[in-house]
């Protein structure tokens, strides 16, 4: 089946763009991730990479270079080997775009990923650069790759590390949240990571077709952290998250349908179409909210944990936050208060090495975030954030401690996002293509798949079936989101107050 390549949305307000030139020719094979053309918008010239694989077919009536066309306009197709090429462009703009008055596409398609062209004057750094040299202004962003452990040459302090739980190799029934890694639980972790990845890939395509209004920060590459941590949580445990919260929402129990509908602004979304990508709420499954502000998840999770202590329950609160938030005052305030009162909270720093485009190495006296736990007399654990088994083990001990009244733990998952900070933003100038490709090779899904097959815990066929089931779920979610109604404008003031008149009632 032919898959459409469309004019992508390269920024939140972009409505149109023009082709500069094709970097792949008609009839050439294209792999997902390959740059296929240059697109010009009001923000400049951007490289565009394909999110799908196939044979590129450029119809004769494709918009020529230099002609500005709306976002969502079909430029070409990707077809399978031996599949006939479409005769021409069936329509320049999709029906859903015409219906909504904004460009888009109503059928699943190739989509594209955008990266601003790297200035020719920048010299890419080696992906193996440790970044342990001079941190002054002459060091340069690209001279400090971040592909390896940051600050390797700095003095280290001892970090308290929980004892990992055992891993059973012979399978068996899965335990309650937490416990040993049975075959069933390992497959559940694999399924959760695949679900997050496929949802994010579909959302990236939808954003570039103009179907998502506002920001879209994907979690691609970091799936092991949300999956490994949330596997230990009960529905009545709470999670507070960030602008990059889709993965946390899915891992905590939000369904793909509700997630996609929310990003599409539809009334069936988890926030009734009012929150979008950065404001996901589903208290019924313990997701107390995501936020575009840096750092509040730390304080809100601490507050939730204080509530649990006052209620004398064994519920646990989890704060997910990025490395950039570790330099925010909220980090100190939250950890200090939680330590003093021994609150049942787990602080999870997802250290993807960049706060937007700023390397943590350049702005942190000690970029090893977990080591800061000693200042609060807390256990601090740094873990390979691309190894879901390792994350599961250390998170299990942290959650156990919290439930038992032993206080908080600081976890640092060392990981990497392999897409831009947000869809439509540049992905060059602050990190190298070689660095991105190296981390793509550390894909947490691929690593677990290879481990399961090599260890005899699962067959390739079993994992392929999970992949196919998730693909169907995500396709259904996309269709559901597009078919769902928009919120009624007459209800715009609802969910603002807790009670009162009909206009303000929840």
Query: Which domains does the chain carry?
Result: 3-116 (2.40.50.100), 183-483 (3.40.50.970)
Sign (positive/negative) of CA torsion 468, 469, 470, 472? positive
467-483: pLDDT as tens digits: 999 999 999 999 999 99
What is the per-residue pLDDT for 427?
73
Other beta carbons within 10 Å of 498: 8
306-315: pLDDT as tens digits: 999 999 999 9
27, 56 in Cβ contact below 8 A? yes
Q: Which strand (E) or helix (H) includes residue 49? A: strand 44-50
Distance CA 394, CA 72 (A): 44
What is the per-residue pLDDT for 130?
36
Main-chain phi, psi angles of 350, to 5 degrees: -90, 90
Task: Using DSSP, state whether 240 is helix, strand or coil.
Answer: strand
Q: How far are the Cα atoms of 225, 232, 298, 383, 387 from residue 393, in angstroms, in the given order? A: 11, 10, 22, 10, 10
Question: DSSP labels for 445-466?
Answer: HHHHHHHHHHTTSS-HHHHHHH
Sign (positive/negative) of CA torsion 131, 133, 137, 138? negative
pTM value is: 0.76
Cα-trace Rg, the chain: 23
422, 227 in Cβ contact below 8 A? no
- Which of 104-118, 125-139, 344-358 tops mean pLDDT? 344-358
388-398: pLDDT as tens digits: 999 999 999 99
268-313: pLDDT as tens digits: 999 999 998 899 999 999 999 999 899 999 999 999 999 999 999 9
Nearest to 22 by CA among 75, 92, 84: 75
Range name among 159-163, 217-221, 276-280 with the lowest pLDDT average: 159-163
Percent helix, percent strand, percent coil in the chain, to nearest 5: 35, 15, 50
| Greatest alpha-carbon span in the chain | 70
Percent of the chain with pLDDT over 70: 80
303-359: pLDDT as tens digits: 999 999 999 999 999 999 999 999 999 999 999 999 999 999 999 999 999 998 888
Sign (positive/negative) of CA torsion 245, 248, 253, 257? positive
């Amino acid at each position: 089946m032919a898959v459409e390549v469309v004019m992508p949305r390269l920024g939140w307000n972009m409505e149109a763009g023009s082709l500069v030139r094709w970097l792949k020719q008609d009839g050439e094979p294209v792999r997902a991730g390959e740059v296929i053309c240059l697109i010009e918008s009001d923000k400049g010239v951007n490289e565009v990479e394909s999110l799908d694989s196939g044979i590129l077919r450029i119809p004769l009536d494709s918009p020529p270079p230099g002609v500005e066309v709306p976002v969502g306009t079909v430029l070409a197709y990707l077809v399978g080997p031996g599949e006939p090429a479409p005769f021409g462009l069936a329509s320049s703009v999709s029906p859903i775009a015409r219906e909504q008055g904004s460009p888009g596409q109503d059928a699943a398609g190739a989509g594209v990923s955008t990266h601003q062209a790297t200035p020719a004057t920048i010299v890419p750094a080696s992906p193996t650069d440790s970044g342990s040299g001079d941190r002054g202004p002459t060091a340069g962003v690209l001279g400090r790759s971040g592909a390896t452990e940051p600050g390797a040459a700095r003095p280290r302090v001892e970090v308290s590390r929980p004892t990992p739980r055992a891993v059973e190799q012979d399978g068996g029934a899965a335990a309650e949240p937490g416990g040993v890694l049975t075959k069933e639980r390992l497959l559940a972790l694999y399924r959760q990571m695949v679900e997050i990845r496929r949802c994010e890939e579909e959302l990236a395509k939808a954003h570039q077709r103009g179907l998502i209004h506002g920001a879209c920060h994907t979690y691609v590459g970091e799936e092991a952290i949300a999956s490994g941590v949330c596997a230990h949580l009960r529905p009545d445990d709470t999670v507070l998250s960030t602008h990059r919260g889709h993965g946390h929402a899915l891992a905590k129990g939000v369904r793909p349908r509700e997630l996609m509908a929310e990003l599409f602004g539809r009334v069936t979304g988890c926030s009734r179409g009012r929150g979008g990508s950065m404001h996901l709420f589903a208290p019924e499954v313990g997701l107390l909210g995501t936020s575009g502000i840096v750092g509040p998840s730390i304080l809100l999770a601490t507050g939730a944990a204080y509530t649990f202590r006052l209620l004398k329950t064994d519920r646990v609160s989890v704060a997910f936050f990025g490395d950039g938030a570790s330099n925010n005052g909220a980090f100190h305030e939250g950890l200090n208060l939680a330590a003093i009162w021994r609150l049942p909270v787990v602080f999870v720093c997802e250290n993807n090495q960049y706060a937007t485009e700023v390397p943590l190495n350049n702005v942190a006296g000690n970029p090893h975030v977990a080591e800061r736990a000693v200042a609060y007399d807390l256990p601090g654990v740094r873990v390979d954030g691309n190894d879901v088994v390792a994350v599961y083990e250390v998170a299990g001990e942290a959650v156990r401690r919290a439930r038992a009244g032993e206080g908080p733990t600081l976890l640092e998952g060392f990981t990497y996002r392999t897409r831009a900070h947000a869809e439509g933003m540049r992905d060059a100038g602050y990190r190298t293509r070689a660095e991105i490709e190296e981390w793509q090779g550390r894909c947490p899904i691929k690593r677990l798949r290879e481990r399961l097959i090599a260890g005899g815990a699962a067959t390739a066929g079993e994992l392929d079936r999970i992949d196919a089931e998730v693909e169907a779920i995500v396709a259904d979610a996309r269709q559901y989101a597009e078919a769902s109604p928009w919120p009624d404008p007459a209800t715009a003031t609802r969910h603002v107050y807790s009670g009162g008149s009909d206009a303000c009632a929840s």
